[in-house]
Structures are given as structure tokens and as C-alpha cells.
Amino acid sequence: MSESFVRFMVSPAGRALRVGAGLGMLAWGLPRRDATAGAATAALALVPLGAGLLDQCVLGPVLGYPLEGDAARRAVS
């Protein structure tokens, strides 16, 4: 289970999903009237957005795989 999850997350589709999720969270969080919730959502959005852009899988180390995308791809192939 964890190997297939990491394999997907370090694939181009997984990276696109993380970037899209980060952008979606930013788009939802920034215009919120409740400044605290909006700011928290926008700040949290930087995690998937940055991970996708930098080719990192932040859940990889939790599941026993490397953080870096290239190393994780080698580990699951």
C-alpha cells in the first residue's frame, strides 16, 4: 500500500496533484473574510505546493522512503 502511494506521489501526476491542491487551497484561503482561517489555509497550502514544485514527497520519510523525488522513484522501482 505505502509503496504504491509513494510511487504515485513522485510521479508526474502526483506532482501535478500536489501543485493543484496547493493552488486550490491558496485560492480558497486568501479571499476568506475570516482572516485567521484564511491565513492558516494559505500558509498550509505552501506545503503541497512547495513539495510539488521542489519534487519532494513529504510523506515519504514517514513511510520509510526518501524525501527527494528522484531517490524515492529509485527506491520504489
pTM comes to 0.85
User: How high is the pLDDT of residue 26?
Assistant: 93
Q: How many domains does the structure of the chain reveal?
A: 1
Distance CA 51, CA 45 (A): 10
**Distance (Å, whole) CA 16 – CA 24:** 12
Let me know if residue 57 belongs to a domain: yes
Give the range of the structural domain holding residue 12, as residue numbers without chain letter. Answer: 2-72
Given a cut of 90, is residue 33 above it in pLDDT? no
On the question of pLDDT at 70 being above 90, the answer is: yes
- Structural domain includes residue 15: yes
Per the domain annotation, does 77 fall within a domain?
no
Contact by Cβ (8 Å): 63, 6: yes
Is residue 13 in some structural domain?
A: yes
